[in-house]
Structure 1
């Protein structure tokens, strides 16, 4: 890998900026100052130092974010705050993006990464990676609804949904409200809300609590993020 790409990948500046740093003699490889941006380095073996700071190469980055309501699942937007606006300068990178999306008013688990292959695997309809949601509902969910979800609902617009697992946690007969959990294997637009609407009720609060085998870290406040461990990366790709 070229030295300028190596340093740019590690966020020491743009390719143009790091070329200038290299020419100024700020970079050494294996103890020798290198002034050629085309110099080839082995990211797994060579010892690269930038202005006295050892550089440890990391190609991919993975974060778990507890998304708050009111923030959109995008990298940039002219009007609304995005999930990437929640990242501080230390962790922010231009190549990071959210894996999939949560509606603006939906909270909970969102994975942020620069690993496009992982994102594709998690979102591919063929892989059926589970997404679990907690919802508060206006209306009383029933055992008949559980059966309907298991069979696969037809939602507005005539869209067919894959079978989903509906779990009714509580039903308040006085207030006519319910608390549910729902496991999906796909990600249609506003799917949870539209499925609940298809059985005559309305979602009033929605939070994603799991993706694959990775559950939301409840110690994270809304808007906070942390890096994923290697063990959690394995869990993330588990289908159930």
Structure 2
């Protein structure tokens, strides 16, 4: 059994919030009876109509996108900036796909898109500790002492202690005075990676997410995407269940 507004959103009728408005307006019938309460639950056997037309449950879709910088990780933007939806083919733009979590406007790399709300909730819930790995090119030469400091955790956002899962030195560029590091997180506060490197005195110049759980960008060029394979979706579900 699932909440009616969730089922409407999954059927691409409207967003979850807009679906709630549609229900409150008395435009939805379940088995021929008008339902106007938001807590109402339905199952697959129920006949659901919106404005007198039966709905069809949408097939769940899952994509891995290699996001370029200069795109926002939303379905629309009040500033009229380009969104990750603009990167999709026309056939997928018309489906209510949305990002699983987000990447900053000036951050590139791996982003998942789906129309499966349960899938999104599982992957973004903090208790499941899904690993996200980033490659960060930062200003200056990062000495070992600073890396140790970062591994132990640094204070950001009004004294919040941010502790990475792992930090590894990848490359030192003494000519351009910069350092490339790999950092893995299991949480996703706003601009967290950037704030963590700023806390040790090395602002980020370039940031790319290269891994999400076991998924990588292999074979997916910047600005393109591919569907997730069935076994990949099942493995993502399985990994979140095993971490409960």
Sort the TM-score into its range (normalised by shorter chain): 0.7 to 0.9
Corresponding residue pairs, total: 194
Q: What residue is the counterpart of 1:205 in the other structure? A: 206
Partner Cα separation in structure 2 for residue 230 and residue 190 of structure 1? 31
The answer to whether the 8 A contact 1:75-1:83 is kept is yes
The CA deviation at 1:59 is 2.5
Q: In the TM superposition, what are the counterparts of 1:65-76 in structure 2 within 5 Å?
A: 65-76=65-76
Matches within 5 A, 1:39-188: 59-78=59-78, 79-188=80-189
C-alpha displacement at 1:111, in angstroms?
0.2
Give the distance between the partners of 2:139 and 2:124, measured in 1 at CA: 29
CA contact (8 A) 2:12 2:95 kept: no
Contact 2:64 2:227 in 1 (8 A): yes
Name the structure 2 match of 1:223: 223
Give, in whole Å, the separation in 1 of the partners of 2:66 and 2:176.
29
Quick check: which has more Rg, 1 or 2?
Answer: 1
Could you say which residue in structure 2 is the equivalent of 1:47? none
User: 1:177 deviation in Å?
Assistant: 0.8
TM-score (norm 1): 0.72
Distance 2:169 2:82 in 1: 33
Q: Quote the residue 1:191 is aligned against.
A: 192
What is the DSSP-based 3-state SS (H/G/I as helix, E as strand, rest coil) of the residue aligned with 1:170? strand
Q: Give the Å deviation of 1:169.
A: 0.5
**Could you list the per-position Cα deviations for residues 99-148 of structure 1 after superposition, in whole angstroms to 9, with x for gaps in the alignment?**
01101011110000011111111111111110000111111122222322
Distance 1:145 1:120 in 2: 34
Distance 1:191 1:183 in 2: 11
Q: Unpaired runs of 5+ in structure 2?
A: 1-6, 14-30, 32-43, 45-56
Give the Cα–Cα distance (whole angstroms) in 2 for the partners of residues 227 and 58 of structure 1. 16
Instruction: Using the TM superposition, give the Cα deviation of residue 58 of structure 1 relative to its aligned residue in structure 2, in angstroms.
Output: 5.7
**Structure 1 unaligned spans of 5+:** 12-37, 44-56
Distance 1:223 1:172, change over 3 A: closer
TM-score normalized with structure 2 length: 0.71
